[in-house]
Amino acid sequence: MKIKGILPLALAVIFVLSFSSALYAGTKLNDKMQQLVDTYASEARSTNPGFSGFSAEDGKRLYNLSRIHSKKNESRSCTTCHTKDPSREGRTKVGKKIAPVSPAVTPERFTDPKKVNKWFRRNCKWVLERECTPEEKGDYITFMMSL
Ligand code: HEC
């Protein structure tokens, strides 16, 4: 009776842990950011039962993906401003400098959930004409943290 109650709980704990810590072997996320990424993971799981953790590979694909904007009729990508190399300084469309997006070069990257959410919203809409999904955001952060 007791064991039956504990087992699902233990499995749930193992399930959650396996998504969070193991992925970030390189630079480590702070607690606030880890919480945000954990939220992305549970959201991703609820919309996609086959979700098996974030992928740096998919994050890299999103970073390099290029798309024609439906109204502006121009090619847009994360690399338009952040350059093809995340360790290099970027530029906004009006020429303002953007510090490299790689946390290996700019340690403040991915330390503030508010900032991260704000810019995901803005930039995903600018490039993809929609918000990024929680899975895409988690993949993107996983890619950046792997650099
Ligand atoms: C039109 C220019 C532009 C494009 C295109 C762009 N960004 Fe950015 N991004 C910025 C600017 C400006 C900032 C804020 C300045 C800074 O952080 O140095 C920023 C910051 C960010 C941050 C905040 C990171 C942190 O913790 O400091 C994230 C996340 C981000 N961008 C994701 C993306 C993604 C994902 C894409 C592609 C879908 C993208 N950006 C495309 C201009 C752009």
Q: Is 115 in the pocket of ligand 1 (CB under 6 A)?
A: yes
What number does the ligand 1 atom closest to the CA of 110 have? 26
Write out the chain's pLDDT in tens, 147 residues: 566 777 766 666 555 555 554 444 457 999 999 999 999 999 999 999 999 999 999 999 999 999 999 999 999 999 999 999 999 999 999 999 999 999 999 999 999 999 999 999 999 999 999 999 999 999 999 999 999
Among protein residues, the one whose CA lies closest to atom 19 of ligand 1:
119
Ordered structural domains, the chain, with CATH? 2-145 (1.10.760.10)
Please give the full DSSP string across the chain, using - where no structure is assigned: -HHHHHHHHHHHHHHHHHHHGGG-SSSPPPHHHHHHHHHHHHHHHHH-TT-----HHHHHHHHH-EEE-TTT-SEEEHHHHH-SSTTS-EE-TT--EE--S-TTT-TTTT--HHHHHHHHHHHHHHHHSSPPPHHHHHHHHHHHHT-
Find the 75 Cα to ligand 1 centroid distance in Å.
17
Whether the model clears a pTM of 0.75, i.e. scores above it, the answer is yes
